[in-house]
Structure 1
Amino acid sequence: MKPALRHDATATPIVLAAIATGLLTMMDGVVKGLSGTYAPVDLVFMRYVGGTIVVLPILLVVRPPMPSWDMLRAHAMRGVLVLATAFFFFTALSLLPIIEAIVFSYLAPLFMALMARVVLGERVSPATGVAIVLGLAGCLVIALGKGLGSEGFGRDAWGVAAALAAALTYAAAMVLLRARTGSDHIVGIVTLQNVLACAYALPFSLAFGDPGPLFVSAWPALLAVGVLGTVGHLVFAAAYGRAPAAKIGAVEYTSFIWAAAIGIVAYGEYPTIATIAGAALIVAGSLLLLVKPKGGARPALAVEDAGAAPG
């Protein structure tokens, strides 16, 4: 019998998700800096080579249980979604400003809530629903402030399409992650994610890219991306193991706040009034996630479904 997934009613899952979001947004900032020089397919390969280098020593220290065939099958499927997400999002970063790519990625929690309802049987509480609405309202305010009207969308349709595709595949990957965190060790999950995605990306990089110059001239960025991505996903896995997917997914709206901070510190880019207003809505939505449902009821979750969904 597989252990039931945890439902931590404290603020811990929210804090973990916010930290993980910050780490992964910093990783996106590093990738954005390289996207003008290197192809997305090479950047994806670099990201998971770096992740594999960083996670293997952690694996040797923690020594989680050997993966079962069921775990390997499940994460082999999720690895395809992880790879697709990285490729679509890195493509969007190469075509759009980082803030625009992040704004479009905010559709992921909506996809996540729907998938979690269908795949995991999780209920979406009224507070979480309002949080998602506030987050989307914040995205709209920011988008309008950035001029993302009809002209903005027409400016780079491919970038928008790539960002939307990344949001969809990311939501699917995170719901499958939620399904496995009740039975799989976190370090084992992140190790398989990096190793499998690296193996999947290698032939595409060799066939359609040129990874040699990237690894020779940008190896510090390789290590930075590996550390930020691996630690970020370890923390995210811990968060998803403690709370429903819709609740944790909504916290990812705070990536805009992290991106604004990175812009100020690294590039001297200060947020506009629209940015501040949108961020305020996003933060308000995230705070609503701390509200407990009446009676302290927990979301419905079938343990059997959690174990069977990835297969």
Structure 2
Amino acid sequence: MKISATTQATLAMAILCLMDPFVKSLATRYPVLEIAFFRFAGGLLISVLLALYFRPSWPDKQSFVTNGARSVLVAISVLTLFYSLKLLPIATAVAVSFISPVVIVVLAVLVLGERLTARILLALVLGISGLLMILGNSILGVESTTAAWIGVAAGIVSAVAYAISMIILRSRATRDPIVTIIIFQNLTPTLLLLIPCLLWGWVTPDYKDLLMFLCVGVLGASGHFLLAQAFSRANASKLAPVEYTALVWGVFYGFVFFNEWPQIITIIGAAAILLGVITLNHSAPEPLPVNSGSTD
């Protein structure tokens, strides 16, 4: 049975959020640049294996330029997100990053000309409500220090870069093979981060940590592969609220890996987020552009 694009995007978020426990553990021993480098290098390895299996056609000039530019945005988004997590409490960093679904919806309407339906608005409202219930006053509770506000700024940059990259992904996912997009998304950041990573604070990982880095890369490549497929099948504005499920997965992984028991308000907020996604999942499919290309 073929799953919906919304379900596929939700599964992608579950896989991507599974990186967090690994990143949280590695961040105590390695600099942010190195973690980001290995995240993309591991993803590149998986991307090459996928390319050998699917054998996509060679990208044209427009594909090189657009996917290359998008991959730079992805690198910026990951680096600034990791930096934000380093400077801020996790809940605050996540709260700041969750402006991206709203930015995605706005850009999808303004740039891609997508229609803003009542169901999408309802899903956004439910997602934002659930987010506020879970986080409470965490944003207002940020200590007013230079480091804290730099962390907030980094989180905003990460969210905006991510949102723009998702809009570009939506435009290219109907033209380029998904494997091509994933290769660009991992190859360019790997090359960009290699020299800075070696020059500034390189820590040689042991065998156990190399396996953890590989897991981060595999999860990142797998999650974005599913996410790219979902964006090739549905409008960006429809899939944007699915981003809020990261909080639900965060609660689940926090309990499984760190024995963090959620409060009642957290459970209610998570239920609101899931309700928003269910609302999207039962909406009528949005038509894709007429001149869409291959996504095999």
TM-score computed with the length of structure 2 as normaliser: 0.91
**Superposition map of 1:236-247 within 5 A:** 236-247=227-238
Alignment of 1:150 onto 2:140: yes
Alignment of 1:288 onto 2:282: no
Partner of 2:194: 202
Distance (whole Å) between structure 1 residues aligned to residue 163 and residue 141 of structure 2: 28
Distance (whole Å) between structure 2 residues aligned to residue 273 and residue 49 of structure 1: 40
Q: Which amino acid aligns with 2:127?
A: G
Match of 1:248 among 226, 239, 254: 239
CA contact (8 A) 1:99 1:256 kept: no
Distance (whole Å) between structure 1 residues aligned to residue 197 and residue 16 of structure 2: 22
Alignment of 1:218 onto 2:209: yes
Distance (whole Å) between structure 2 residues aligned to residue 56 and residue 96 of structure 1: 35
CA contact (8 A) 2:9 2:242 kept: yes
Distance (whole Å) between structure 2 residues aligned to residue 286 and residue 158 of structure 1: 32
State the shift of 1:97 in Å: 3.7
Partner of 1:70: 62
Q: Which amino acid aligns with 2:36?
A: V
Partner of 2:267: 276
Partner of 2:160: 168
Partner of 1:3: none
Distance (whole Å) between structure 2 residues aligned to residue 50 and residue 18 of structure 1: 22
**Superposition map of 1:1-311 within 5 A:** 12-144=4-136, 147-148=137-138, 150-152=140-142, 154=144, 156-210=148-202, 212-214=203-205, 218-292=209-283, 298=286
Distance (whole Å) between structure 1 residues aligned to residue 143 and residue 121 of structure 2: 27
State the shift of 1:216 in Å: 5.9
State the shift of 1:76 in Å: 1.1
CA contact (8 A) 1:50 1:226 kept: yes
Distance change in 2, residues 1:97/1:34 (3 Å): farther
Q: Which amino acid aligns with 2:37?
A: F
State the shift of 1:234 in Å: 0.4
Of 117-126 and 230-239, the range deviating more from structure 2: 117-126
Q: Which amino acid aligns with 1:264?
A: F
Q: Which amino acid aligns with 2:245?
A: T
Distance (whole Å) between structure 2 residues aligned to residue 140 and residue 58 of structure 1: 39
Distance (whole Å) between structure 2 residues aligned to residue 126 and residue 239 of structure 1: 21
Distance (whole Å) between structure 2 residues aligned to residue 123 and residue 189 of structure 1: 25
Distance (whole Å) between structure 1 residues aligned to residue 26 and residue 274 of structure 2: 30
State the shift of 1:99 in Å: 3.6
- What runs of 5+ residues in structure 1 fail to find an aligned partner? 1-9
Q: Which amino acid aligns with 1:152?
A: V
Q: Any runs of at least 4 consecutive aligned residues in structure 1 with deviations exceeding 6 A, and if so which?
A: none
Distance (whole Å) between structure 2 residues aligned to residue 207 and residue 149 of structure 1: 35
Distance (whole Å) between structure 1 residues aligned to residue 160 and residue 21 of structure 2: 21
Q: Identity of paired residues, percent?
A: 34
State the shift of 1:207 in Å: 3.4
TM-score computed with the length of structure 1 as normaliser: 0.87
Equivalences, count = 290
Partner of 1:5: none
State the shift of 1:191 in Å: 0.9
